[in-house]
């Protein structure tokens, strides 16, 4: 007993604690370093885990960086892929006078996202959830072979029930319906809601269920933020509009202001490819499975007049395709950069691109909501305004409703529209998809919408008066930028 008492003396206990803590710090340090995250994020996690051995480890387990490995369906991609020369030729055919900088952006997207320049026969900008939902319902009801959907938010409300009813009717008619929703964004969906679709022969899946299952730990951060609808491989939709009453002003007066894109033509093949790979991954197949009806899923379509390119990105691709596409497009600008985003939390590279463009005389204009649906994101965004304005950019806050559009207009020859916000989460953590359009059509449509939106916005001026605590809150929120 005396030996036991001596062993557990205060001095020995103190020494034992430091030995255990040192071993813990060494093991955890090696684990964190092997994730090869950004230096600032790595240092932050190391300090947090060292200071909070128990609580910090729990937070890291659930929210820390995770390396995801997804096998791309190379056979699926090669079936419709074009050599880079053909991709470049397609852009030259449709825009003969296209400057070299457009070709450089196209090459960058091809090499980071592995999607060549394609084309569309028809392209329609849909402004507002009401127009978008009407168009989607029309396309679904007209489908004869398949309907594929992938959404971040699909609510079992009036809007969601109307679309689900149309899907069930198509499934009952023999149309193959596959529905993929994010388990966090669509957390209100229960089995009772989608059971009629499954009973009718449709298929349903959640993306990254937030529970410990076959994976070592639950996936909290890596969500599919994509909004994709493909009907018969010929009509495709993507953009910012989720399936929810919050996007339809006919249901809610304060509905989000948003835009979406309807496409017809060969470019839909690439939107389809993104969905099929996500579908295969969500079903937890070890290898992507090639569907037996590829001729119907990826039909041969006549080339269209509009040059477009799909760009997708996610945590399984370290090349940050959408982030690089945005930065490259801004760096390529000669005359204007008009950016609309609900969440403005730029990376250092993106902020440098914007300020450089403004400093060299490009008309840089940023449109954000006066109040987003996230207080901390709104505060973080405002911390960047003075720096932009000081370099010559113009910043506007949309006041009418919550602004949810995600668009970029560059000069008169390039535009981007899709699901990605201008923030760290969309650039690095979420699965996103965007359309890069070359030429006048979409560029002009988005520029016109930008000008109309400015009528409901007020300009932010440099050094605007702020009370001490709101200004301090903005600065504190900015420290959280990499986590937002």
Q: Please indicate whether residue 182 is annotated as part of the active site.
A: no
Backbone angles phi, psi at 432, to 5 degrees: -130, 165
CA 161 to chain centre: 25
Q: State the catalytic residue, choosing from 176, 227, 323, 424.
A: 227
Q: State the catalytic residue, choosing from 208, 404, 424, 441.
A: 404
Give Cα separations from 7 to 4, 10, 18, 24, 404 (angstroms).
5, 9, 15, 22, 63
Q: What is the secondary structure of 347-413 as a DSSP string? A: -HHHHHHHHHHHHTT-EEEEEEESS-S-HHHHHHHHTTHHHHHHTT-EEEEE-SS-B---EEEETTT
Strand pairing report for 407-410 and 306-313: unpaired
Q: How many Å apart are CA 382 and CA 303, to the nearest integer?
A: 44
Q: State the catalytic residue, choosing from 245, 278, 411, 474.
A: 411
Q: Please indicate whether residue 225 is annotated as part of the active site.
A: yes
Residue with tokens 């496409």: 263
Q: How many Å apart are CA 63 and CA 115, to the nearest integer?
A: 31
Q: Please indicate whether residue 406 is annotated as part of the active site.
A: yes
Q: State the catalytic residue, choosing from 208, 225, 257, 260.
A: 225
Residue with tokens 């790595």: 42
Q: State the catalytic residue, choosing from 257, 260, 406, 424.
A: 406
Q: Please indicate whether residue 232 is annotated as part of the active site.
A: yes
Q: State the catalytic residue, choosing from 182, 232, 245, 474.
A: 232
Q: How many Å apart are CA 28 and CA 40, to the nearest integer?
A: 17
Strand pairing report for 146-151 and 176-182: parallel
Q: Which residues are catalytic?
A: 225, 227, 232, 404, 406, 411
């Amino acid at each position: 007993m005396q030996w036991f008492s001596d062993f557990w003396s205060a001095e020995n206990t103190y020494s034992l604690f430091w030995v255990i803590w040192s071993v813990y710090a060494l093991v955890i340090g090696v684990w964190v370093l092997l994730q090869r995250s950004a230096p600032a994020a790595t240092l932050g996690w190391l300090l947090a885990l060292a200071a909070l051995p128990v609580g910090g480890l729990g937070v890291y387990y659930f929210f820390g960086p995770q390396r995801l490995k997804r096998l791309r369906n190379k056979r699926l991609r090669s079936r419709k892929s074009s050599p880079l020369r053909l991709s470049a030729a397609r852009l030259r055919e449709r825009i003969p006078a296209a400057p070299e900088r457009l070709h450089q952006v196209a090459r960058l997207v091809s090499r980071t996202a592995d999607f060549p320049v394609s084309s569309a026969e028809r392209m329609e900008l849909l402004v507002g959830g009401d127009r978008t939902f009407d168009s989607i319902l029309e396309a679904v009801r007209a489908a004869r072979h398949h309907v594929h959907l992938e959404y971040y938010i699909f609510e079992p409300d009036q809007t969601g029930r109307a679309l689900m009813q149309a899907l069930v009717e198509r499934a009952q008619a023999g149309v193959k319906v596959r529905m993929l929703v994010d388990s966090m964004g669509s957390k209100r969906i229960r089995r009772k809601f989608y059971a009629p679709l499954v009973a009718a022969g449709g298929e349903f899946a959640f993306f990254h269920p937030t529970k410990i299952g076959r994976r070592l730990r639950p996936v909290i951060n890596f969500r599919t933020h994509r909004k994709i609808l493909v009907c018969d491989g010929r009509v495709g939709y993507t953009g910012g509009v989720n399936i929810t009453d919050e996007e339809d002003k006919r249901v809610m007066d304060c509905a989000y202001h948003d835009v979406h894109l309807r496409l017809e033509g060969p470019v839909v093949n690439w939107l389809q490819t993104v969905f099929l790979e996500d579908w295969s991954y969500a079903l937890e197949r070890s290898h992507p499975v090639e569907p037996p009806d590829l001729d119907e899923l990826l039909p041969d379509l006549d080339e269209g007049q509009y040059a477009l390119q799909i760009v997708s990105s996610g945590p399984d691709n370290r090349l940050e395709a959408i982030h690089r596409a945005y930065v490259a497009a801004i760096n390529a600008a000669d005359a204007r950069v008009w950016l609309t985003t609900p969440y403005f939390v730029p990376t250092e590279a993106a902020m440098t691109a914007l300020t450089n463009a403004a400093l060299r005389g490009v008309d840089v204009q940023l449109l954000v909501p006066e109040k987003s649906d996230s207080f901390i994101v709104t505060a973080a965004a405002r911390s960047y305004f003075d720096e932009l304005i000081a370099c010559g950019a113009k910043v506007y806050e949309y006041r009418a409703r919550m602004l949810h559009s995600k668009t970029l207009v560059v000069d008169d020859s390039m535009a981007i529209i899709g699901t990605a916000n201008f923030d760290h989460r969309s650039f690095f953590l979420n699965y996103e998809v965007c359309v890069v359009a070359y030429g006048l059509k979409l560029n002009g449509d988005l520029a016109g919408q930008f000008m109309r939106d400015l009528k409901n916005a007020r300009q932010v001026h440099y050094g605007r008066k702020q009370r001490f605590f709101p200004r301090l809150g903005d600065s504190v929120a900015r420290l959280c930028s990499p986590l937002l």
